[in-house]
Amino acid sequence: MKTEIIVNSATQETRIAILEDGRLVEILVERPDTQRLVGNIYKGIVTSILPGMQAAFVDIGMEKSAFLHARDVGGSPERLDDEEDEDAEDDDEEAPRSGRETKKYTPIQELLTKGQEVIVQITKEPIGTKGPRVTTDVSLPGRFSVLMPYSNHVGVSRKILGWSEKRRLKALAARLRPENCGIIVRTVAEGQGEDDLTRDINDLKRTWERVHRRAKRMKAPALIHSELGMTTNLMRDLLSEDVERVVVDSKSVYNDIIKYLKGTAPQLRDRVLLYDQKEPVFDAYGIEQEIANATNRRVPLRKGGFLVIDHTEAMVTIDVNTGRYVGRNNQEQTIVNINLEAGQEIARQLRLRDIGGIIAIDFIDMAIEANRRKVWEEFNKALRHDRSRINVAERLSEFGVLEMTRQRVRPSLLYTFSEPCPLCKGSGRVQSPDTTVTKLERWLKRLRAAGGEKKLVLEVHPTVGSYLRENDQRILKALRRTTGAQIILEDNPSLEIDAYRFSSLKTAEDLTAKYEA
């Protein structure tokens, strides 16, 4: 697979696109007012403990308090079990797993007290009305390893498949491990020598010592360590021999990357190229149009089918449709073909749109169990390229629905590039003109019952105004006739489509609220 990383830097944002075989599979965006927070370490104060939720809220100096669940407090049995069970992975490189595991953890009220100072690290960005999620299990990722203070665990990424290499790296890490710290060896360490790993671990050790000194010196709440910027962070985590090239359109960002690689992976510096053409770099690589399509609700499939992706408060739903694709002779095979193609595209869209949380996929119903299993297996294969933690149900339901979860670290692309519609408030629906007219009639009848004045000015949104004037003002005339009111109709573009305003023709007094239900 050919992998390329394209970096576009502008005044208001930096965008990083990851291409696989020429197709956009991930887009990361960083803006000055929405700096990346995941990985930042804070000295915080526990402000409240909620035994009913088995969680605590921690003031880390942000607008919203951070959420700390009992399972994310270091030393709880679940955390210790995880270290043993997940011996061959780090948080950035977890393979898809099926189902959810429920483990016991020490009650939050036995772990923390109100007013206690704690060192925490952000694991999930603030999303919507929720503050950031944090853990006390601090980890510092480097190029080849991850340092875990307060732990004695040693592990190797499960993506390193050779057992002899796993044993070599684990033995090396165990020997180099600083006192009272754990080490996980990352995938890019495969084939690296002792000097590279030693230098990486020593750098992380010095970083942690600085963090620890700041934690002792600074008064809570306080930021005591900032994670690398998005571009350098991505170079650390992704740039390897598997990446064919990195194309950057900013001289300063290019210099930052070269400077970082000089000390960590000098052999990869010649893969970083400075783009200096007149055509914008994202246009040159066909990325801009793909980004524009990445927030569309409907996603076309090559064979004629399509996906419909909807975001709700509880989950994201994805519906698979046959569209124009009718196959040849066998209906079951036609459905299987569409579902197989849909599975590949859904895996790509999850990464591209950075969709997280609970996801329900409604595949087209298949009658044969072997076909359902085939679709499930191919979909799971497609998910292997995803860097996020994924849990997939063990089978499609009898109705063709597959449930899964995907690690949500930051808001999805939809919420990064858009905001709720001021008219429909994000529902995608607005009040119909018929409903508005019915409300107008009820208002006028309440006015007549109260003996109010009859000469009125009615202001409505232009869409409703056009509806009232249709067919020689048939609807408006009917309102006048049934209520006995004399109405002068005026369009007001500043009103929302479901709003209206009645005022006295004589005094211009706004009467709307006076006769509302």
pLDDT tier for residue 360 given thresholds of 50, 70 and 90? very high
343 shares its domain with 489: no
| Among the ranges given (30-34, 208-212, 306-310, 451-455), the one the predictor scored with the smallest mean pLDDT | 30-34
Residue 120 within any structural domain of the chain: yes
- Can you give the CATH number for the domain in which 256 is found? 3.30.420.60
Average pLDDT for 48-74: 93
Task: Please report the pLDDT score of residue 34 as a whole number.
Answer: 66
115 shares its domain with 205: yes
Average pLDDT for 421-437: 83
What number of helices (H) and strands (E) belong to the chain? 13, 25
Average pLDDT for 277-282: 93
Average pLDDT for 308-331: 85
128 shares its domain with 192: yes
pLDDT digits 0-9 by tens, 131-168: 999 999 999 999 899 999 988 899 999 888 889 999 99
Give yes or no for residue 79 having a pLDDT over 50.
Answer: no
| Among the ranges given (64-78, 79-93, 424-438), the one the predictor scored with the smallest mean pLDDT | 79-93
Residues in Cβ contact with 445 at an 8 Å cutoff, skipping those fewer than 6 apart:
483
pLDDT tier for residue 83 given thresholds of 50, 70 and 90? very low
Task: Please report the pLDDT score of residue 466 as a whole number.
Answer: 92
- Can you give the CATH number for the domain in which 327 is found? 3.40.630
Task: Please report the pLDDT score of residue 517 as a whole number.
Answer: 78
Task: Please report the pLDDT score of residue 100 as a whole number.
Answer: 43
7 shares its domain with 63: no
| Among the ranges given (55-64, 266-275, 323-332), the one the predictor scored with the smallest mean pLDDT | 323-332
Residues in Cβ contact with 326 at an 8 Å cutoff, skipping those fewer than 6 apart:
304, 334
Residue 453 main-chain phi, psi, to 5 deg: -70, 155
Q: What is the reported pTM?
A: 0.75
- Can you give the CATH number for the domain in which 193 is found? 2.40.50.140
Task: Please report the pLDDT score of residue 327 as a whole number.
Answer: 63
Residue 345 main-chain phi, psi, to 5 deg: -70, -35
69 shares its domain with 204: yes
Identify which has the larger pLDDT, 304 or 95: 304
Strand order across the beta sheet in which 272-274 lies:
23-30, 14-20, 3-9, 243-248, 272-274
Task: Please report the pLDDT score of residue 82 as a whole number.
Answer: 39
260 shares its domain with 301: no
Instruction: For tokens 């969680």, name the residue.
Output: 55
Residue 407 within any structural domain of the chain: yes
Quote the domain boundaries for residue 314.
297-412
Alpha-carbon gap, residue 107 to 110, rounded angstroms: 6
Number of domains in the chain: 4
Query: Among residues 381, 412, 443, which one ends one of the domains?
Result: 412
Average pLDDT for 461-466: 92
pLDDT tier for residue 489 given thresholds of 50, 70 and 90? very high
Share the mean pLDDT of the chain. Answer: 87
314 shares its domain with 169: no
| Among the ranges given (33-42, 96-105, 120-129, 399-408), the one the predictor scored with the smallest mean pLDDT | 96-105
Query: Among residues 210, 225, 240, which one ends one of the domains?
Result: 225
Query: Among residues 377, 412, 447, which one ends one of the domains?
Result: 412
Identify which has the larger pLDDT, 265 or 40: 40
Task: Please report the pLDDT score of residue 103 as a whole number.
Answer: 55
